[in-house]
Amino acid sequence: MNRIDERFASLKAKGETALIPFLTIGDPDADTSVSIILRMEAAGADIIELGVPYSDPLADGPVIQRSSERALANKITILDCIGVARKCREAGSELPFILFTYYNPVLQLGLDRFFRLLGENEISGVIIPDLPIEENAPVRELSLRHGIHLIPLVAPTSNERIARIASEAAGFVYCVSSLGVTGTRSEFYGGINDFLAAVKQATDVPVAVGFGISTREQVEKFARLCDGAVVGSAIVRRIEEAMPLLRDSARREEGLEAIGTFVATLKVKA
């Protein structure tokens, strides 16, 4: 069974909601990303999104854009990001990993090679935000062949389109809580409750929500409405704030502890 399915089944049995942190791999460097992932796992993370840095991240707000710029300045590639999953496994991580990448790096790598590498490095799913459902057939076919979940993003739209996207979902449906790009928010899309209810009605796979979730109170709110909460910009900002510590070998542990402590505050247990 895919690790994502196993994790959601385990959490459902305990009555818990999945905490799904996102980080940009290579910010500040690949080895530190491994350390951050292990610290987030210890703090209660259930699934991790491995963000591939990209020069034109259409779905990402300024915090994640800055992290991509820093990682790209370090020459981090999609291959480096995939390799981080392997390093985490070698360090003892049991978490499901999802690669979050735009389509161009996948296309440049080649679809067959891409999915082979995901399998070899024990990555359980992939999110490609700029690949619409109308154009995803080759990617979806390979994802099914390799047992790697192609996780769709769905934003507030018509019930017909929600049903179409959700009908092909694997792993979970990633619901966009706010119109626009990623970033912390105090207000969400006004019809969010009805939107999430429509998605849940259209699929049997878990439903997670992201884009703008940044506090424990927001995680608790969405825990009552769905199966998982994705936290991205708020975590990437904590990494950005801890950068001076992470780059100082004498204070690196202090920086990792700050990130882990924040993630721990987000985990809602039964």
Any idea which residues carry the catalytic annotation?
A: 49, 60
How far, in Å, are 147, 166, 259 from residue 33 at the CA level?
A: 26, 32, 12
- Is residue 98 within 8 Å of residue 124, measured between CB atoms? yes
Distance CA 235, CA 88 (A): 19
